[in-house]
Amino acid sequence: MRERLADYAALPDETVGQIDIKGLFPKASELWLEIGFGAGEHVAAQAAANPAIGLLACEHYLNGVASCLSHLEKGGLNNVKLHNGDARDLMDRLPDGSISRVFLLYPDPWPKARHHKRRFISPENLDAFSRVMSGGAILRVASDIPEYIEWTLDHLAQRPEFALLGDPATEFREPWSDWPGTRYEAKALREGRTPAYLTFQRGPR
Ligand SMILES: C[S@@+](CC[C@H](N)C(=O)[O-])C[C@H]1O[C@@H](n2cnc3c(N)ncnc32)[C@H](O)[C@@H]1O
């Protein structure tokens, strides 16, 4: 597993400081970031559908990384680099304005009030998005938890550099046109929950 992961490592062991994006993705036209990819089906689908982009994908969960690796190997996909760890550590090492699309798909909802500070949508992490995203970059957030959807809308509404796209009248129930779904989403749908698909755009830098 370690050897298999080495070919896909976003942060090879010996590297320190800012990530060498050109070294990781010499030919990529754009750099995208997925946070908390679970088993990696969405990572593989986006990488296959967009071969010109470079996709950095982060997940704490080692079994999820192993599953994602299998999808990448099976699909012969070489435009993805994986970070088995905290997405915030990887973001800290990205240059300003380097990311043109961020996916945060079904982030852990942390329903108890005393755990809300663990939610990925937070002022600190929005600062990090703001720094690493290019002008015009897109942030996609999916969630099946009404309170987390409200939380996300409220936090982003406090950020003048992010605009909410789409029509609020639809309550953001329409999936994106290139949406392959995720494993967590399939479970949420089976259990009768209704997802929302939120899209934000970063303004000019
Ligand atoms: C509810 S799951 C959703 C997984 C996947 N996106 C899906 O829709 O099937 C949330 C995932 O985010 C991961 N995660 C949470 N915080 C993270 C962080 N700071 N960095 C990397 N991964 C994180 C968790 O390990 C978990 O696998």
The pLDDT profile of the chain, 205 residues, written as one tens digit per residue, is: 777 888 899 987 767 899 999 999 999 999 999 999 999 999 999 999 999 999 999 999 999 999 999 999 999 999 999 999 999 999 999 999 999 999 999 999 999 999 999 999 999 999 999 999 999 999 999 999 999 999 999 999 999 999 999 988 899 999 999 999 999 999 999 999 999 999 999 999 9
User: Which residue in the list 108, 127, 144, 154 is annotated as catalytic?
Assistant: 108
- Beta strands of the chain (E only): which ranges? 31-35, 54-58, 80-83, 99-105, 133-143, 162-165, 196-202
How far is 191 from 151, CA to CA, in rounded Å?
Answer: 22
Choice from 11, 33, 35, 67 to test ligand 1 binding pocket (greatest atom count within 8 A of CB): 35
**Ligand 1 contact, 82 CB (< 6 A):** no
Do residues 71 and 44 lie in contact, with contact meaning Cβ atoms separated by under 8 Å?
A: yes
* CA neighbor of 57 nearest in space, from 34, 32, 85: 34
Exposed (0-12), middle (13-18) or buried (19+): which is 115, by Cβ within 10 Å?
A: exposed
Can you give the CATH number for the domain in which 78 is found?
Answer: 3.40.50.150
> Which residues touch 125 (CB under 8 Å, ≥6 apart)?
88
Nearest Cα residue to atom 19 of ligand 1: 86
Q: Which pTM does this prediction carry?
A: 0.97
Range of the domain at 129: 2-202
How far is 175 from 156, CA to CA, in rounded Å?
Answer: 20
Whether 13 is catalytic: no
Amino acid at 108: D
- Domains of the chain: total: 1
